[in-house]
Amino acid sequence: MEEFKGRVAVVTGGASGIGLAMAKRFAAEGMHVVIADVEQQALDAAEAELTAGGTEVLATIADVSKPDQVEALARASYARFGAVHVLCNNAGVAAGGFCWEESLEDWQWVLGVNLWGVIHGLRSFIPRMLEQESEGHVVNTASMAGLTSAPLFSLYNVSKHGVVTLSECLHHELAMIGSDIKVSVLCPSWVDTKIADSSRNRPGGPRDEPDLEEPFGAMSQQVRQLLSEGLTSENVADQVLDAIRTGRLYILTHPELNGVIKARAEDIVSGFMTAMDPTSVVRETLTQS
Ligand SMILES: NC(=O)c1ccc[n+]([C@@H]2O[C@H](COP(=O)([O-])OP(=O)(O)OC[C@H]3O[C@@H](n4cnc5c(N)ncnc54)[C@H](O)[C@@H]3O)[C@@H](O)[C@H]2O)c1
């Protein structure tokens, strides 16, 4: 897709971080934007910033884990702008620990937002976008965690692996029906956002006890450090726009980590976890980003 001016982009999790940066990048191209989020204050600030820049904005509360709220978002987007050309299923949260110790509530929360949120987005928007009969683009935010299996991130990894394969299937299926809608799956490593404070959006509020138990606790400090030294959201948004322009499926924002993806693929084919013993993956990811 090369034409952006006057077209419409929808971004979930659009009130902060990567989502807000994408909304601003689309606005800079002259697009109208819809931003959806669960944080009213951040949403108000984002709406004010975008509006001040002269962009037509629809800012609305929508919890992407709830199908009726995503359906309402689609209805509101079409009621306001009559079309959607770029759909970014981006809202996401993170939690970590041993997979057998994570609470059912946390499994449901993380999968609900990160994976079901994308599923709801596709189910509500794709039929409308197909009916519109114009070119379009879907960007699903996964992660490097969707292409690797670092320990202590199982909740997050499972959700993001799901988003990667869902995006690949969507790509194939849209091609099968000859649609003009293209797909990208965004797979960043560390980006300087508030993802480490996802607990602020945990249903029922943040937990009383420390969020991340040992051994994750020690690592979480490193994770925060790496996030703060990571790419800017603006850099990622630039890469997303370029991928939409060029019709690229995979957006790997940290090419220095591509070796980790290749090593996993080689391990799968060989049948043995060798190059990627679990601790070295974490170490490698932590040191290379
Ligand atoms: N920051 C990173 O290093 C990184 C790396 C890879 C992938 N990602 C992914 O990028 C996406 C954006 O995260 P970010 O890093 O900008 O974090 P962020 O916390 O800054 O932004 C996430 C946004 O999603 C919103 N959100 C949370 N739950 C929601 C829900 N149920 N419904 C709607 N909105 C909800 C939050 O309020 C927030 O505005 C996520 O999918 C995340 O998994 C981030």
pTM of the model: 0.95
Residue of 144, 193, 223, 288 to test ligand 1 pocket, by largest number of atoms within 8 Å of CB:
193
Mean pLDDT rounded to a whole number for the chain? 92
For the cut 50, the answer to whether the pLDDT of residue 281 exceeds it is: no
Which residues, other chains included, contact 275 with Cβ-Cβ below 8 Å and sequence gap of 6+? 263, 266, 267
Determine which residue's CA is closest to atom 40 belonging to ligand 1: 92
Task: Work out which ligand 1 atom sits closest to the CA atom of 160.
Answer: 43
The continuous run of DSSP H or E covering 221 comes out as helix 216-228
To the question of domain 8-212+231-254 being in CATH 3.40.50.720, the answer is yes
In angstroms, the Cα distances linking 240 to 103, 137, 146, 197, 201 are 34, 11, 17, 24, 25
- Measured in whole angstroms, how far is the alpha carbon of residue 283 from the centre of its chain? 24
Tokens at residue 262, please?
């290749």
Sign of the CA dihedral running 53, 79, 39, 243? negative
For the cut 50, the answer to whether the pLDDT of residue 240 exceeds it is: yes
The pLDDT value given to residue 286: 52
Q: Calculate how far, in angstroms, residue 196's C-alpha sits from the geometric centre of ligand 1.
A: 9
Ligand 1 proximity of 19 Cβ (cutoff 6 Å): yes
Ligand 1 proximity of 60 Cβ (cutoff 6 Å): no
The pLDDT value given to residue 189: 95
How do residues 127-178 score in pLDDT, each as one tens digit?
A: 999 999 899 999 999 999 999 998 888 999 999 999 999 999 999 999 999 9
Q: Is 224 helix (H, G, I), strand (E, B) or coil?
A: helix
Determine which residue's CA is closest to atom 7 belonging to ligand 1: 143
Give 184's strand partners.
Answer: 139
What ranges do the domains of the chain cover?
A: 8-212+231-254
Residue 199: DSSP 8-state? G
